[in-house]
Amino acid sequence: MAGTIKSSGQGTTPSGQRATLRTISELTGLSQSTVSLSLRGGTALKEETRRKVAEAAEAVGYVPDRAGVRLRTGKTNVVALVLDGGDDSIDFARQMIQGIGNAIRGSRYHLTVIPEFVRTQSVDTVRYILDNRTADGVIITHTAPRDRRVQLLMDAGFPFVSHGRTEFFTQHAYHDFHSEVFASLAAERLAAKGCRHLLLLVGDDSTTNHHNIVTAFQRATARLGVIGTVLDSAVARGRPDDIRQLGQDIARQTDRPDGIVCDSEMRAIALIGGLQDGGLMLGRDIEMIFKQTSDILPTLFPKLDSIVEDVFTAGEELTRLLVRRINGEAPEMLQTLFEPTPRWRS
């Protein structure tokens, strides 16, 4: 049906008029109330009906009158992603946005992305959303143990979900990478390969993720009976050329570690460059396991072990949780972890 309809422009019918619920109703043979319910994500409708409406809406370029919707319902039909600029994972932003976009496709929601390059400004952004109600719900990333943004949102009773956990007693919705499992898996793998001195290179020490990785790494190395050294976070947060110099320094050490765990592809690439500058060969002189968020490093070093974090899937899950929170589900029922996926290649 809808596959034979050609759109004449964004939100307009072939006659040049704005596409409306009535337009979709006439195309599908469904009532306007059914069309409206379907576009609002009505779960009581059959999947075939929802698909039929979504295809027709896409074909005619239907765009809801958001100003009218807000006047009638108080809803914006917008979800806001406050994207922390402190991320150092390769391709994180693109995959996160694509995952969210995929999850809201065919729904009534639109995505607003607000990149923040200074963490304190992220608090101001959340406060602006709350004061002006510019979204129905918020996704925030890179949470701290006592994150001010989380506190603001909880105090306001505003729907949100965080990519990362906190230490608040009050429950809130979150989805997080199970970093404790990441650290344990990496330490166990390196110990099984004969490594006796492991070095952990992990970045931003202001996040809950940092604390979880460090704690799990220290417990794992103690349990395995190997030496576990955590690199000073100020060094780990250095620029790529600083990390490369670190690799050269490690290569010159007589008592250097023989296994490295790295929580970032960007840091891993810089560190590998320095290790190679110093004459070390991965897999022969030193082992490494890194957290993989793209295919870049595996392409360059196909035998290097990694543990995968699927950021695209995280974006989808965060969106599903947020929509459920907007619809009134209790936050303690909206807490999930992504289990790391080992990629043992060597």
For the chain, the structural domain boundaries read 2-63, 72-176+311-338, 179-308
Q: Check if 72-176+311-338 and 179-308 are the same fold.
A: yes
Lowest mean pLDDT among 27-36, 56-65, 74-83, 275-284: 56-65
C-alpha atoms less than 13 angstroms from C-alpha of 258 in its C-beta half-sphere: 15
pLDDT, tens digit (0-9, with 9 covering 90-100), for 51-85: 888 888 878 777 666 555 554 555 789 999 998 76
How is domain 72-176+311-338 classified at the architecture level of CATH?
3-Layer(aba) Sandwich (3.40)
pLDDT, tens digit (0-9, with 9 covering 90-100), for 217-246: 999 999 999 999 999 877 777 888 999 999
Distances (CA, A) of 249 to 55, 185, 262, 273, 294: 59, 27, 17, 12, 27
Share of the chain above pLDDT 70, in %: 88
CATH superfamily of 179-308: Response regulator (3.40.50.2300)
pLDDT band with cut points at 50, 70 and 90 for residue 16: low
CATH superfamily of 2-63: lambda repressor-like DNA-binding domains (1.10.260.40)
Angle at 120 (CA atoms; ends 119, 124), nearest 5 degrees? 115
Tell me the three state secondary structure of residue 139: strand
- Tokens 């929601």 belong to 109
Mean pLDDT of the chain: 87
Contact 272, 281 (CB under 8 A): no
Task: Report pLDDT for 336.
Answer: 98
Q: Which 8-state DSSP code applies to residue 303?
A: T
Tell me the three state secondary structure of residue 179: helix
